[in-house]
Chain A
Amino acid sequence: MAKEEYKSIECISNMTEEYRNAFFPIVEAYREQLSERLVLGDSAYTPHDFDHHCFDIYKIISEILLENDKAFIHPYGLDPRELFILNLAVLFHDIGMFVIGSTRETHSVQSAEFIEKEFEDTNSALSKGADLSINEKKALKEIVKAHSDVKDGTVPPEQNGLKSPGLKNYKMKAGSRTVVRTRFLAGVLRVADEMDVTSDRLGGRRLESEISDSRGKIEEYKKKGEQEKAEKWKKYLESLVHWRRLHYFSDITKDKKTIVLHVDDEEIEKSLEASQSIESLAREVIGVLENVANRIDDANNEAFSDGSVSKLISLGDVTYETENDELKQAIETDLNFRKKKGISSKSEEIVEGSIDASEIGGGTDVVKEIGKTNVADQFPSVLNNEIAEMLSRETKGRELIQFGHYRLNERYCARDWLDTRELVETKAILNQIVNVFVKELNHSDKDYIIVGVDLVGALVAARVAFALQRPFTYLVSKKNRVFNANKEIEVSTLLEQKDVVLITDVIVSYETIDEIIDHYSIDKKRLHILSLFFRPSKEYVSNAEYVASTKSLNNAFAIELFEKDKCVYSSDGCLALNRRNTQEITESLCDGKLNAETKN
């Protein structure tokens, strides 16, 4: 952005000369501070600078939100002092991000406190330039505080954001109006802030190399044993991944009342070529749409309905535009699915990553609880925490946990199923998985054969074995033998002569492993197990001997099991979703029919 370009934006250029002359020096005094990049710290990377973010917000307010033919026309629209206060609020709303000790969750409070401090300092540019009354200063602080919900739990929901009791109509120093309509102005700022989702905000920066560099930094600090620095860089990495979504949108416009987010189709193609799935891209787009829509709804309800302001702003639905038919279809499919299931919008919070459940005391509540009730050695050790976090993120992001009723084995049914196929068909993810397993096995001096269990296990085993130049084969679990060629089920006699490294995708109860060991006569003393996921459950206590032989990539997804005999859905034979054995289904149905006929 050219240094002076912001001055021509309508919400700024429409200020009276008096307020423009006051505003510009304040901008010059603080814009550099806003352009500093936070590299480390809890808030990590955040694109909140003046030249892009503030600039974008001014443009959004002027070109999309406010009805220009009314909003800037005094006395029908905003009072000149209101406009001045609004523009100051935009300038300072994120300055709290740059305050030492600030966090993303409370930055709006820190921004308000910063304003207060600057006003207390009579030498500050703000104090000198903005001749605001005490009430107007309060109004400014409250608008800034309300632009983002306080997320550290210190403010109850009914008093957070636009519901804040601080958003009163403060008496104005001078002007045609007697009050500053703080709730309205806070609503405008909140919505404009949320709408700044295009790549303009990044100012042409590509985040991929920073993401790659950050990963390198994390590894470097871990190797040096500097855990604290590694943790900070991890947060930075998470936020970079979060903000990468800005690349997906090139523009935001308004068509009558509808807000249109324009998808950057080239970026979508790039992401597809980098093996991101169309479904996950659709989810990213929908996530942003929903965030914007929710913000607008919230503001319409809380801040824009008052008679004095309702003519100044008119916002309806949020939609998107893309030329990519595949993306369109994926978005529509996802939206239809959510409507049917009544699924509400996803949180915009950055996924925190998985929990290493091998550290009992950490982890999700369910996993913690399992950790308490079971002994520590009920969890296999996790090979790499970064990969564990990546798998958690990908599993959640790609919605790989299929909810329903599934048959786990002869004894148990489960509430969900973790479909790992998409993970191994995504080369970036598969490469990382293979890399970790290769590192794990590379230094072994044992004579071993690598054995994959079922399809996903076989694919990973093949890649690992090929990389290590080791022999490999695969085994078929009992439940899948009916779907495999007879010859595919037979296995080499090599298993008898070597250590066996079994690679599988998900372990829940070890019953599959146990059956395979038994069926193929594998020596348990020479057994090593590598699994993508280990899913702990309260209902099942794992065989300690197997757990000791197992290393996994992720233990974070607990599973709820039901004994088949007690399953309420099994009264006429198990009708679990994954019962693909048509013979069994036919038989059970026939049994039912015969029974009915007999009864009749």
Chain B
Amino acid sequence: MISFRKDKVIYIPVDFNMFYIDAQEKMDDVKYAQEYIASEEFVDEMVRCVAGNPDLTVLVDLRNIVVFPARAFVKFEKYLDRLYFCNVAEGAMFNRIGHELSNLIKVRDKGLLCIETQRENAERIAKETENIRNERLYDIIRNLMIPKSDEDIYLESSGLYTNYYVDIKRLFTNVEQLYFAVFSLANKMSGSIRKVDAIVSSGKNGAILASILAGLFDIKEVHIIGVGPKYAMNIGDSIGCIKEGKRYAFVFDFMCTGTELKIVSALVNSKKGILNYAAGIAKFRDDTGSSVLNNLDVLASMKDLAIDYNVFGQKGE
């Protein structure tokens, strides 16, 4: 079971766990879904986790969970004094938990179920749920940020210099972290990706992310390689697969100044395609890329990561 610990709190993302377990069974056939079913085995694991950590508060995040095994919630009865069910969907799930665990109260505006004595903590817990989940993501991405050693780092796509390099390759070598990042990104993309015909990428890391996401969404992928001032791109062959009238989503690893987005957007437009969405792991600033696209999602910006990331035109500036 995958859970995140922060101080005296354990946070269990049930949807992510079910996605991860599902992927183990389906392997290359795994697809992203917006709704998940919690399995009996997983519920038992959660109960064991709660039981095995008597000094900790447990947040069970039920976002995107639509079905729980029958009488499963009853297994948590002994631990309700330190247990919160968070992000519970209104309607059937909410009612069902309330029915099985009658001493739980519903804090509807927070999507939370807890016992009465914990009601005053509801707001804090709701925020904590989001914080822990986001912090986990931020930790994963921070781990990819390699500060410069001696020399400024040259950004080959834009020809600028920076004080950090985002080493996405590190993400690929840690399975759980990669899965969580990809799952989180897919969550953000799920609304917009329906309106897209294919995912387009540039650069190798972007292409890898794009390919994984294309597999999860069962959507076509197109890889435009060699974008940026360093590369002598052969226009004719690289963008042959961009089709007139088709809608594309640009997937990237890290967006610094948005140069690659601008180039890809121009290339797509030149073939009369439509670039209407972009998504990636991280970007420099909140407004990066906004001059090209309004609809752009990332897992984090440098501000979120509290990293003093800078870009300059010349070395040593």
Contact = CB atoms under 8 A, between A and B. Distances in A.
Interface of A: 275, 277-278, 325-326, 421-422, 424-425, 427, 430-431, 434-435, 438, 442, 449, 455, 458-459, 462-474, 483-488, 490-492, 494, 580, 582
A441 to B, nearest CB: 10
- Please classify the interface of chain A as helix (H, G, I), strand (E, B), loop, or mixed, using the class held by over half of its residues: helix
Contacts of B214: 427
Interface residues on B, range: 35 or more
Given A487-B165, A582-B232, 11 more contacts: A326-B243, A422-B241, A425-B222, A425-B241, A427-B215, A459-B207, A473-B172, A485-B203, A487-B167, A491-B169, A492-B170
Interface stretch (B52-60, B107-115, B135-143, B173-181): B173-181
A459 B243 contact: no
B15 interface: no
Nearest to B228: A485
B243 A471 contact: no
Interface of B: 20, 23-24, 27-28, 30, 153-154, 156-157, 165, 167, 169-170, 172-175, 178-179, 182, 203-205, 207-208, 211-212, 214-215, 218-223, 225-226, 231-232, 234, 241, 243-244
B27 A438 contact: yes
Given A455-B207, A471-B172, A492-B169, A466 B178 contact: yes
B158 to A, nearest CB: 11
Contacts of A449: 173
Contacts of B219: 427
A472 B208 CA distance: 11
Given A487-B165, A492-B169, A463 B175 contact: no
B211 A463 contact: yes
A473 B173 contact: yes
A488 B205 contact: yes
Nearest to B26: A467
Contacts of A487: 153, 165, 167, 169
Contacts of B226: 483
A484 B204 contact: yes
Contacts of A277: 241
6 contacts: A421-B223, A458-B208, A459-B211, A462-B208, A462-B211, A467-B23
A277 B157 CA distance: 30
B179 A472 contact: no
Contacts of A491: 169
B231 A463 contact: no
A472 B172 contact: yes
B244 A462 contact: no
A429 to B, nearest CB: 12
Contacts of A422: 241
Contacts of B234: 580
Nearest to B157: A485
B30 A467 contact: yes
Contacts of A278: 243
A471 B225 CA distance: 24
Contacts of B179: 466, 469
Contacts of B157: 485
Contacts of B23: 466-467, 469
B82 to A, nearest CB: 31
A278 to B, nearest CB: 7
A466 B212 contact: yes
A589 to B, nearest CB: 15
A466 B221 contact: no
B253 to A, nearest CB: 10
Contacts of A425: 220-223, 241
B72 to A, nearest CB: 26
A467 B175 contact: no
Contact of A468 (B27, B170, B174, B204): B27
A33 B180 CA distance: 61
B27 A467 contact: yes
Given A469-B179, A483-B231, A455 B225 contact: yes
A431 B214 CA distance: 11
Contact of A465 (B156, B172, B221, B231): B172
Nearest to B219: A427
A431 B218 CA distance: 10
A423 B270 CA distance: 24
A275 B220 contact: yes
Nearest to A442: B27
- Which 7 residue pairs across A and B have the least CB separation, nearest first? A467-B28, A471-B173, A462-B208, A467-B27, A485-B156, A438-B28, A459-B211
A279 to B, nearest CB: 9
Given A467-B28, A471-B172, A455 B223 contact: yes
A458 B115 CA distance: 50
A463 B241 contact: no
Contacts of A424: 211
A492 B205 CA distance: 15
Contacts of B27: 438, 442, 467-468
Nearest to B166: A487
B96 to A, nearest CB: 31
Contacts of B175: 469-471
A564 B28 CA distance: 42
A422 B238 CA distance: 11
A471 B174 contact: yes
Given A427-B221, A455-B223, A466-B215, A473 B30 contact: no
B225 A488 contact: no
Contacts of B154: 486
Contacts of A490: 169
Contact of A469 (B24, B203, B218): B24
A494 B169 contact: no
